[in-house]
Structure 1
Amino acid sequence: MDIVHHLPHHDVVFPKIFCHFNIETLFQLRLVSKCWESLVTEYFKQRRNLDLSEFGQRMTVDAFLLMTSNNKVLKQLLVPEATSWLMDKHLFPVIRNCSHVLTDIDLSNCSQLSSLSLHSLAANCRNLTKVSLKGCAWVDEDDFKQLAINNRGLRKIDVSRCWSVDDRCLMNAAISCPFLEEIILSYNLSVTDSALVMIAMKCKGLKHLSVIGCWYVSICGIRAIVDHCKDLKILHASDCLRMNEACLSWLRVRGVAVDVCQCHLKTH
């Protein structure tokens, strides 16, 4: 500890040593001594990325609060599958403290959260570029619209299985966020061709689109995407009942990777 203690923490220890440790190792270091505990705590205060994807339900509230409570520079927060422990009251301080720098947040399947968290994101964060709300049934239509309006620089949005996100929401998002490059709409039965047409018209830099399980999307919506989104690289369209193989073949000719596994394709 004496050697590490005398090294510059912010210039050497944190960016050159601690950045290579995983979360579990950092927490083990806290148990060595009071000095190590203090050093790790200080490290979490200045950490800019926090990816807790591997932990899911194994994470605890106390551990999360230790890593985030005093951090005001967090740019990326990934907490997917935090189904049993993450609640609004735990997320609010992070949003409040890091609203000016937060760009990437993943709340996929965080079922204990509510629309209040989305409202807080929409009201406070203006620099988001990636937002994943996959499986969040609590997503509120009005707050989702406000989130899009306040974050014109959005590049990726995942609203798979978000039942309240309908065509009107997506059309508003397309108009408000013209730089969207990745849009994931899987298993959203409220999505129709109307949304895809607006996305095609407004988000011409679209590179990745997923409409897996979107039963009301047909060749009309896909054709609009084909005609207007010249940078499209990936289309996930499995389990779509109204797809047409001719339209998908047109995409393949352009070099687009098309996933049509389990698709009920029409040949005529």
Structure 2
Amino acid sequence: MDIVRYLPHHDVVFPKIFCHFKIESLFQLRLVSKCWQSLVTEYFKQRRNLDLSEFGQRVTVDAFLLVTSDNKVLKQLLVPEAASWLMDQHLLRVIHDCSHVLTEIDLSICSQLSSLSLHSLAANCRNLTKVSLKGCEWVDEDDFKQLVKNNHGLRKIDVSWCWSIDDRCLINVAISCPFLEELILSNILSVTDSALVIIAMKCKGLKHLSVKGGWQVTNCGIRAIGDHCKDLKILHVSDCFRVTEASLARLRVRGVAVDVPVPSEDSLIEVEDAMDVLMDPDRRLQI
């Protein structure tokens, strides 16, 4: 401790030493002495990144408050799966204090939050580049629209399983976020080709798109994405029953990673036979 005490804290100890410690180690360090406790507390105040992804529900409210208390420079806040402890009153203070610098936030599966948190993000944060609201059923359509409207620099949006998101929300995303690179819309049943066509035309830098489980998505929407988004690298369309090789084959040739395998010749024949039966109900198999 004597050596550390005489080193410049903000120029050496924090950026060169403490930044390499895991959160658990820093909490253990606080228990050594009052001097270490004071030093770690001061470090938490100026820490710019807080990633609690690996802890999930094992974090306590007290620990979260300790790490974020008096911090006004937090740029990254990742607290996915904090369903058992994170509530609006804990998050709103952080959003208020760090709204001018916050660029990345992950609230995936934080089920005890409400639209109050989203409203605060939408109203106060103007520099967000990455937002994940996966599995947040409390997402409000109007607040989400305001969020994307106020953050034109968004590069990543994940609203998987957010059932209030519809084509109108996604068209708003396309118009407001021209620099979007990653858009995750998994298991949103209301997504249609209409939104995908607008997204394709407005977000030409898109690199990763997931419409997995989008039952209303067809080859038309995927073709639009392929025609306009020349930088596309990853496409997830599993369980999109109306999307076929008619639109996927061209993307595979371009090197796009598609999450469904190339159908075998036998399976293609089976599909063709099934389509024939559907087109001709009176057709019967000849034995």
Q: Higher mean Cα deviation, 233-242 or 74-83?
A: 233-242
**In structure 2, distance between residues paired with 1:15 and 1:201:** 43
**TM-score of the pair, normalised by structure 2:** 0.91
* Runs of at least 4 residues off by over 3 Å: 261-268
Q: Which amino acid aligns with 1:151?
A: N
C-alpha RMSD of matched pairs (Å): 1.5
Residue 169 of structure 1 is matched in structure 2 by: 169
Aligned counterpart, 1:257: 257
Q: How does 1:91-240 map to 2 (within 5 A)?
A: 91-240=91-240
C-alpha displacement of 1:246? 2.2
In structure 1, the partner of 2:281 is none
Q: Give the superposition deviation at 1:86.
A: 0.2
Q: Which residue identity does 2:174 align to in structure 1?
A: A
Q: After superposition, give the CA deviation of every residue in 1:64-118 in whole Å (9 maximum; x if it has no partner).
A: 0011121000000000000110000000011000000000000000000000000
Return the alpha-carbon distance in structure 1 between the equivalents of residues 71 and 62 of structure 2: 15
Q: Is the 8 A contact 1:219 1:244 kept in 2?
A: yes
| Runs of at least 5 residues in structure 2 that lack an aligned partner in the other structure | 276-287
C-alpha displacement of 1:239: 1.3
CA distance in 1, matches of 2:117, 2:162: 15
The structural deviation recorded for 1:244 is: 1.2
Alignment partner, residue 68 of structure 1: 68
Q: Which residue does 1:30 correspond to in 2?
A: 30
Q: Contact between 2:235 and 2:257, CA under 8 Å: does it hold in 1?
A: yes
Amino acid at match of 1:183: L
- Structure number with greater Rg is 2
Given that 2:219 and 2:246 are in contact with CA atoms closer than 8 Å, whether structure 1 keeps it comes out as no
**Equivalent-residue separation in structure 1 for 2:171 and 2:72 (angstroms):** 33
Give 2:170's aligned amino acid: L
Unaligned 5+ segments in structure 1 are: none
Equivalent residues of 2:161, 2:188 under 8 A apart:
yes
Residue deviations 1:115-171 (CA, integer Å, cap 9, x gap):
000000000000000000000000000000000000000000000000101000000
Q: 1:7 matched to which residue of 2?
A: 7
Offset, 1:9: 0.3
The number of residues matched between the two structures is 268
Identity of aligned residues (%): 82
